[in-house]
Amino acid sequence: MNAYPQTIKFPKLRRLGRRVSALIVLLQKSPYIQFLLPEAKLLSSVATMDAVKMTIATVAGLGAFDSVSGATEVVQISPNNGSDTVSSDTDVSLTFVFQAIGISGHRVDHFSVTGTLPPGLTLNPGVENRSFGSISGTPTQAGTYSDIKIQAWRSAGDSGDYAEGTFSIVVAAPAGAATITQQPASITINSGETTSLDVSADGTPPFTYQWYQGASGVDTTPVGNDSSSFTTPALSATTSYWVKVSNAANPSGDNSNNATVTVVDLFETWRTNYYTTQELADPLVSAPTADSDKDGVNNQNEYIFGTSPITSNVQLTPNVSMDETHVNISFTTVIASGVGYEGKTRHYAIEVSDDLQQSGDWPVLQGYSDITATGLTVNAQVPINTDPKKFYRVRSWLTP
């Protein structure tokens, strides 16, 4: 690793007194110069001036470079000489120059890269018969890109002798760039519920927010509004979301992590509590539409009413009586509790129609449109009028 200028034996050179400068000139005329010149040319074709300067610095270290024995590695030359980390900035041209050292003859047939390079960077082709290679381009996405392994192969094809080095390319966000400081958090909800996801960002406002459904970075399904908060639709299946936050200083944006909304199906939990594995596998017994206790109430409605799907019992039947002036309707509300009702509230409404066959929701009886279950009895008195007939029913539902 430390095969660079700092290992030149300056003290020894110094003892040579006035002959030192002559010696340097001699070195520069040595075959080593010819060895490196083609690489400087290579680099200048793809690189910034910095990269070329660094190459020249390596020429100065050539004596030490050659003294390395047994090492077979790929080391960074520029921009962070000798480091495993490559520093760069978003939207600023980068040339990452590396060198294979310790390979017999100091020649590399080709380099290969494994790992994910920052978007905008590529390995430069045409490095045959070199010891230097480079990755260049303009990174567009801030972040730390770890485990980028560069392998220098002595022969054609990715097999045989090689040297390798592993690097992290760190792409810094530009000043004022939108950078997510608080990721949207994963959460567990009940089936049929919605939830809100939030993100916080640093940088220079204003920010633009775009939410997406799917895995982070996959932008095929945009959802929601331009807001730091996103409210999901009612979900019946586990769903992942992420958000991109951008601003003028970071137009390509900062992508959040995945926020997974795990959906728990409480009806499924309730169903599993009553039926055996064999029964659960039989839709004629345990499906939402089945009525295994043959009480006329299907399993979905048993769940909503809070009755057992395996014991015929009709707890909800309202008592209806009439006197000379009123129709009296009473029923006992049942609080939603127990397995499958975590976080649920049961509600009731009394509905009225003069047509028993009326489909859909009936008009609600005024004053009884939303009764929250308390375990107490509801008594409704409806004045009798001149209508020839009226039908009443009690509807129940669960929230959320």
Of the pair 50, 293, the CB lying nearest Ca ion is at 293
Of the pair 56, 310, the CB lying nearest Ca ion is at 310
- The nearest distance, CB 339 to Ca ion, in angstroms, is 17
Of the pair 110, 346, the CB lying nearest Ca ion is at 346
Amino acid at 40: A
293 makes contact with Ca ion (CB under 5 A): yes
Q: Which of positions 141-170 make contact with Ca ion (CB under 5 A)?
A: none
Of the pair 97, 316, the CB lying nearest Ca ion is at 316
- The nearest distance, CB 282 to Ca ion, in angstroms, is 15
Tell me, letter by letter, the H, E, C secondary structure of the chain: CCCCHHHCCHHHHHHCCCHHHHHHHHHHCCHHHHHHHHHHHHHHHHCCHHHHHHHHHHHHCHHHHHHCCCCCEEEEEECCCCCCEEEEECCCCEEEEEEEECCHHHCECEEEEECCCCCCEEECCCCCCECEEEEEECCCCCEEEEEEEEEEECCCCCCCCEEEEEEEEEEECCCCCCEEEECCCCEEEECCECCEEECEEECCCCCEEEEEECCCCCCCCEECCCCCEEECCCECCCEEEEEEEEECCEEEEEECCCEEEEEECHHHHHHHHHCCHHHHCCHHHHCCCCCCCCCCCCHHHHHHHCCCCCCCCCCCCCEEEECCCEEEEEEECCCCCCCCCCCCEEEEEEEEECCCCCCCCCCECCCCCCEECCCCEEEEEEECCCCCCCEEEEEEEEEC
- Contact residue for Ca ion among 297, 336, 350, 380 (CB under 5 A): 297
Piece of the chain touching Ca ion by CB under 5 A; list 20-28, 32-40, 121-129, 296-304: 296-304
Of the pair 89, 293, the CB lying nearest Ca ion is at 293
- The nearest distance, CB 272 to Ca ion, in angstroms, is 17
Q: Which of positions 197-226 make contact with Ca ion (CB under 5 A)?
A: none
Of the pair 91, 291, the CB lying nearest Ca ion is at 291
Of the pair 135, 290, the CB lying nearest Ca ion is at 290
- The nearest distance, CB 186 to Ca ion, in angstroms, is 37
Of the pair 304, 382, the CB lying nearest Ca ion is at 304
291 makes contact with Ca ion (CB under 5 A): yes
- The nearest distance, CB 290 to Ca ion, in angstroms, is 8
Piece of the chain touching Ca ion by CB under 5 A; list 149-157, 203-211, 241-249, 289-297: 289-297
- Contact residue for Ca ion among 89, 164, 295, 351 (CB under 5 A): 295
- The nearest distance, CB 296 to Ca ion, in angstroms, is 7
254 makes contact with Ca ion (CB under 5 A): no
290 makes contact with Ca ion (CB under 5 A): no
Give the footprint of Ca ion on this chain (CB under 5 A): 291, 293, 295, 297
